[in-house]
Every structure is written in structure tokens, then in C-alpha cells.
């Protein structure tokens, strides 16, 4: 039986070569598809949960992306018992505005899956240079820098 199969291969070497070429083509298509799938996640639009429990909505704005606070870290500000306000804003006229809806970053593209711009820190009312990097389809890293840089990972909600 082995001898019969070997003789069939020897009788039709072109058929064997064509089968090998087709297998190589299918393998190449599969590899390209897998590589493309690995880089197709760079879409930061959506709702993201910060480490403190607050949520941020990321949307396109111009050529970049912007984020607004969608929900605060808790229902009420423990200092006042009322809704969270932008109480640390450097502009006294903005300290009474609701914190939900405040823009927390504005970023422009700065490489694959990376954006650079400014980050508003609601804890101290300052705006800092910063970066956003999409680590994977479910993780967004936000960094802000003053003297030192700090950041946190946010997880995709939807």
C-alpha cells in the first residue's frame, strides 16, 4: 500500500506541488488574518470605568478623541452629601457646576493606539499634559504629567 501511494505521487509530481502551494496559500491567508485581528482593536470610543468607579465616555472630537465624565465615583459627594461638583476647579465660577459632563481629556493622535493632549484632574482642578494608550480592546491607560507622571488603567464598560 505504501508502495502504491508512493508510485501515485511519483506519477503526478505536479499535483503534489499544486497541493503544497495551496496549503502554503491557505497558511499565509490565516497568518495575515490573525495579524490583522491583533491590531484592529484601536477604537477607544465608548464607556470606560476608572479605578475609583467613575465612568468616562470617549468620543471623537475633530481629528482626536475627547472624554467627559459620565458618572461620578459615588452617588453623592461625602463632603456635602449632594451631587458631585467641580469644587476644585481653579476658576471659582466653575466650582458649582456638576462634575458629570465635565471634559476630562482632549487628545490628538500620536502614533498607533496612542494619543497626546491634556488631562483635567477633577481632584485638584489642574489640567496636565497627558497621554492615552489603548493597551488592548478592553484596557485604556490614561497618564497625566506635572513634575512626575502618573496614570491608571480604565476598563471598557461597552
Per-residue pLDDT tens over the stretch 84-135: 999 999 999 999 999 999 999 999 999 999 999 999 999 999 999 999 999 9
Q: Domain holding 149: CATH number?
A: 2.40.128.520
pLDDT for 145 equals 86
Q: Which three cell numbers stand for residue 1?
A: 500500500
Are residue 55 and residue 96 in the same domain, yes or no?
A: yes
Answer yes or no: do 112 and 55 share one domain.
Answer: yes
For cell 466653575, the residue is: 94
Are residue 132 and residue 72 in the same domain, yes or no?
yes
Between 31 and 52, whose confidence is greater? 52
Segment 50-70 shows an average pLDDT of 96
Nearest to 58 by CA among 98, 19, 106: 106
Contact 48, 152 (CB under 8 A): no
Number of H helices, E strands in the chain: 2, 8
Residues 104 and 61 both lie in one domain: yes
**pTM reported for the whole predicted model:** 0.71
The continuous run of DSSP H or E covering 27 comes out as helix 13-39
DSSP 40: T
Coil vs helix vs strand at 3: helix
**132-145 per-position pLDDT tens digit:** 999 999 999 999 98
Domain that residue 25 falls in? 2-39
Q: Which helix (DSSP H) or strand (DSSP E) does residue 58 occupy? A: strand 55-61
Q: What is the pLDDT of residue 147?
A: 74
Asked if the model's pLDDT at residue 41 lies above 50, the reply is: no
**pLDDT band, residue 3 (cuts 50/70/90):** low
Report whether 124 contacts 136 (CB < 8 A): no
104 and 133 fall within a common domain? yes
pLDDT for residue 59: 97
| Closest-CA residue to 155 (of 47, 25, 11) | 47
The pLDDT of residue 32 is above 90: no
pLDDT in the model for residue 89: 97
Amino acid at each position: 500500500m505504501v508502495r502504491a501511494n508512493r508510485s501515485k505521487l511519483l506519477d503526478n509530481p505536479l499535483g503534489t506541488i499544486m497541493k503544497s502551494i495551496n496549503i502554503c496559500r491557505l497558511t499565509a491567508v490565516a497568518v495575515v488574518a490573525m495579524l490583522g485581528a491583533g491590531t484592529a482593536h484601536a477604537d477607544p470610543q465608548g464607556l470606560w470605568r476608572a479605578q475609583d468607579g467613575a465612568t468616562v465616555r470617549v468620543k471623537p472630537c475633530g481629528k482626536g478623541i475627547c472624554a467627559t465624565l459620565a458618572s461620578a465615583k459615588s452617588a453623592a459627594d461625602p463632603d456635602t452629601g449632594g451631587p458631585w461638583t467641580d469644587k476644585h476647579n481653579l476658576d471659582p465660577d466653575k466650582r458649582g457646576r456638576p462634575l458629570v459632563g465635565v471634559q476630562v481629556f482632549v487628545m490628538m493622535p500620536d502614533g498607533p493606539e496612542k494619543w497626546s493632549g491634556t488631562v483635567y484632574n477633577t481632584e485638584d482642578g489642574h489640567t496636565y499634559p497627558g497621554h492615552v494608550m489603548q493597551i488592548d480592546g478592553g484596557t485604556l491607560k490614561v497618564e497625566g504629567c506635572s513634575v512626575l507622571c502618573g496614570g491608571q488603567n480604565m476598563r471598557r464598560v461597552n
